[in-house]
Amino acid sequence: MNNPSWFDKLEQRIHELHENKIDRIGPNLEGVVDQPTPPHDPVNRPAHYTTGTIEVLDFIEDQQFGYLDGQVIKYVSRYRHKGKPLEDLQKAKFYLERLLRKESHE
């Protein structure tokens, strides 16, 4: 069987979080879910990246995503929270298309 793609891993992780089947995400995020949310910090903890139980950057690093797939995840995860949903989805599409081109040439 092939190794799961980054998208499959993301989908599974989201499902696990939704079902509350795990209390930690990975070695870099141990205990994050149980910690109180710190106050809003527009540089270190922007609100549009911290709307869930984990910060998007922590998830991207924990899953060891590359630049292109990390950008896709970043823009898809924030498009409903930053105030420019169509722009963020277009950016996600831009990076996803580049990732698809890259993967099709490897």
Q: What is the pLDDT of residues 7-54, one digit of tens each?
A: 666 666 666 655 554 444 445 544 444 455 556 666 666 665 566 678
Q: What pLDDT sits at residue 2? A: 61
Average pLDDT over residues 72-92: 90
CA torsion sign, 30 to 7 to 72 to 85? negative
pLDDT of residue 73: 94
- For residue 59, the one-letter residue type is F
CA distance 89 to 85: 6
pLDDT at residue 78 in the model: 86
Higher pLDDT, 81 or 94: 94
The pTM for the full model equals 0.56
